[in-house]
Amino acid sequence: MSMYQMETKCIQSGWKPKKGEPRALPIIQSTTFQYENSDQMGRLFDLEDTGYFYTRLQNPTNDYVAQKICDLEGGYAAMLTSSGQAANFYAVFNICEAGDHMVCSSTIYGGTFNLFGVTLKKLGIDVTFVDPDASSEEIKKACKPNTKCIFGETIANPSMVVLDIEKFADIAHEAGVPLIIDNTFATPINCRPFEWGADIITHSTTKYMDGHAVSVGGCIVDSGNFDWNAYGDKFKGLTRPDSSYHGVTYTAKFGKGAYITKATVQLMRDLGSIPSPQNAFLLNIGLETLHLRMERHCENAVKAAAYLEEHEKVAWVSYPGLKSSKYYELGQKYMPKGSCGVIAFGLKGGRRVSVSFMDHLEMTSIVTHVADVKTSVLHPASHTHRQLTDEQLVEAGVAPDLIRLSVGIENINDIIADLENALKTV
Ligand SMILES: *Cc1c(COP(=O)(O)O)cnc(C)c1O
């Protein structure tokens, strides 16, 4: 980990050219890598030497970008994935198998809710969703002997619930399992979950990290702090020989790098959700301005949230930066510099009025996407969370009238004027 400040890491971490090499991160657009003799290549397959041989497992461009995100989070090792969905799937599947169980905050992104609640169940991995605001005692009750991890989002998309990371880390560690935190909305600029006890961090880099809505991607970062060997019987995949990889024992051979090495040489090898080097290059450009953009996103969102809160047609606003927010205190604790640019709110008159309001916005676009430079809106109940029942919607913290406003970095007066004009029509 470099000792630079966050702003410097955004720019300087990752690719560090030597004499005569390109200053910009090179796009190594090659599926494969050449060696001088067969023995050299054999040693790579035996994990005796490090090096590249096939981009499905690893690619230098991707790795330099993963290294930058690792540095920003203060982690030990990281890998890129082709999407945030792949990152969350791999993060869990790397330590859970059929017969295992996980505990998860109920207020998480709809796609992740479905991945865990439906798809992982089909693979024999059971999940218990818990109310993130419940007491430690209550959440502990959800842990079973076969529980292998606990999962939550720093700021839940789209309910804007702020997770008490320390509370969840304590529960996880008491149960002898790692805490996995999806830090997509806060980004390491505003919150570094490892500093609060999280063990593994995931990202949909598609959001603020890319920041321009040009490339789908994900990342997994391992703190290297979880002691897999202390619970060796629970995490056999890491602490016992892997018959699918020449009998290697990941913890014995790779120490703190065990988790990411296994995810790379086993999950990437078999499932192959690797990003293209071109996309990693675009992500890296996004990361170079992440610190500047997050600051402006937050500054604009605080003003937009305050404006909405004062408006007579607005029924409620949920934004951790508002003093009136139930999550203001937690927000101040974990994200004193600001939370993110996303605001959830509802209009008086409910679902129908909320949808009509969105249709009357001019500059603000209706898109599935969130967390990029352009201001955008979404009605989760009609769009991203459409597959959830009303009961699941409530459980996920998504009111049927909830509008998700992703405040961009345009001039705030133009953003508010657009909201104002649309509000006049409803
Ligand atoms: C978007 C999102 C995901 C899924 O990421 P993709 O890159 O779209 O696959 C996961 N978690 C959170 C919090 C998200 O916002």
Split at pLDDT 50, 70, 90, the class of 25 is: very high
CA of 204 to the centre of ligand 1 (A): 5
> Residue 150, SS3?
strand
Return the residue whose CA atom lies nearest to atom 6 of ligand 1.
84
Instruction: Write out pLDDT tens, residues 281-340.
Output: 999 999 999 999 999 999 999 999 999 999 999 999 999 999 999 999 999 999 999 999
pLDDT tier at 350, thresholds 50, 70, 90: confident
For the residues 12-39, what does the mean pLDDT come to?
96
Where do runs of H (alpha helix) occur along 74-109? 84-93
Q: Using most ligand atoms within 8 A of CB, pick from 90, 106, 109, 119 the residue to mutate for ligand 1.
A: 109
Q: What's the farthest any 2 CA atoms get from each other in the chain?
A: 74
What local confidence, expressed as pLDDT, does residue 44 receive?
85
3-state secondary structure 317-342: EECCCCCCCCCHHHHHHHCCCCCCCE
d(CA 214, CA 199): 29
CA of 244 from ligand 1 middle (Å) equals: 30
Parallel, antiparallel or unpaired: strands 200-204 and 179-182:
parallel
Q: In this predicted model, what pLDDT tens digit does every residue of 139-191 receive, in sequence order?
A: 999 999 999 999 999 999 998 999 999 999 999 999 999 999 999 999 999 99
Select from 160, 105, 163, 166 the least CA-distant residue to 138. 105
Q: Which residues line ligand 1 (CB under 6 A)?
A: 83-85, 88, 109, 111-112, 153, 157, 182, 184-185, 204, 206-207, 216, 218
Mapped onto helix, strand or coil, the DSSP state of residue 132 is coil
Counting from 1 in the atom list of ligand 1, the atom nearest the Cα of 88 is 10
Report CA(423)–ligand 1 centroid distance (Å).
29
Pocket test residue of 82, 85, 340 for ligand 1, highest count of atoms within 8 A of CB: 85
Q: Please count the other Cβ atoms lying within 10 Å of the Cβ belonging to residue 263.
A: 26
In this predicted model, which residue has the larger pLDDT, 49 or 141?
141
User: What are the backbone dihedrals phi and psi of residue 101, each rounded to the nearest 5 degrees, phi first?
Assistant: -145, 150
CA distance 248 to 330: 42
Cβ neighbours for 37, distance < 8 A, ≥ 6 positions apart: none
Residues 101, 73: Cα–Cα separation, whole Å: 27
Give me ligand 1 centre to Cα 143, in Å.
25
- Phi and psi (nearest 5°) for 79? -140, 150
State residue 2's pLDDT score: 74
What are the C-alpha distances in Å from 38 to residues 30, 42, 59, 60? 20, 6, 20, 21
Report how far residue 377's alpha carbon sits from residue 31's, in angstroms, rounded to the nearest whole number: 38
Give me ligand 1 centre to Cα 107, in Å: 13
Hunting for tokens 């790795």 — which residue is that? 63
In the CATH hierarchy, which fold is given to the domain comprising 291-423?
A: Aspartate Aminotransferase, domain 1 (3.90.1150)
Residue nearest to atom 2 of ligand 1 (CA): 204
Q: Whose alpha carbon is nearest atom 1 of ligand 1? A: 204
Domain boundaries, the chain: 6-285, 291-423
**What is the CA(385)–ligand 1 centre distance, in A?**
13
Domain 6-285 architecture: 3-Layer(aba) Sandwich (3.40)
- Residue 20, classed as helix, strand or coil, is coil
Please, which residues have CB within 8 angstroms of residue 218's CB and are 6 or more apart in sequence?
80, 81, 82, 83, 84, 85, 86, 87, 88, 202, 203, 204, 205, 206, 275
Mean pLDDT across 395-417? 92
Res 133 pLDDT > 90:
yes
Per-residue pLDDT tens digits for 78-103: 999 999 999 999 999 999 999 999 99
Q: Is the pLDDT of residue 351 over 90?
A: no
Query: What is the structure's pLDDT at 398?
Result: 83
What pLDDT, on a 0 to 100 scale, did the predictor assign at position 300? 98
Give dist(CA 2, CA 20) in Å, integer.
Answer: 23
What is the 106 CA–ligand 1 centroid distance (Å)? 15
- Tell how far the Cα of 84 is from the centroid of ligand 1, in angstroms: 5
Q: What pLDDT, on a 0 to 100 scale, did the predictor assign at position 1? A: 60
What is the per-residue pLDDT for 24?
Answer: 97
Residue 32 · residue 185 · CB < 8 Å: no
pLDDT digits (tens, 9 = 90+) for 361-389: 999 999 989 999 999 999 988 887 787 78
Write the pLDDT tens digit of every residue in 250-271.
Answer: 999 999 999 999 999 999 999 9
Q: Which of 89, 151, 184, 370 to mutate to test ligand 1, by most ligand atoms within 8 A of the CB atom?
A: 184
Cα(185) to centroid(ligand 1), Å: 9
Residue written as token pair 């913890």: 251
Exposed/middle/buried for residue 22 (C-beta within 10 Å: 0-12, 13-18, 19+): exposed
pLDDT band at 27 (very low <50, low <70, confident <90, very high): very high
Beta bridge partners of 316: 346
List pLDDT tens digits, range 216-249: 999 999 999 999 999 999 999 999 999 988 899 9
> What contacts 288, CB < 8 A, 6 or more positions away?
10, 11
153 Cα nearest atom in ligand 1: 13
The model's pTM is: 0.97
The DSSP code sequence of 235-270 is THHHHS-BGGGTTB-HHHHHGGGHHHHHIIIIIIHH
Task: Indicate whether 396 pLDDT > 80.
Answer: no
User: What is the pLDDT, as a whole number, of residue 119?
Assistant: 98
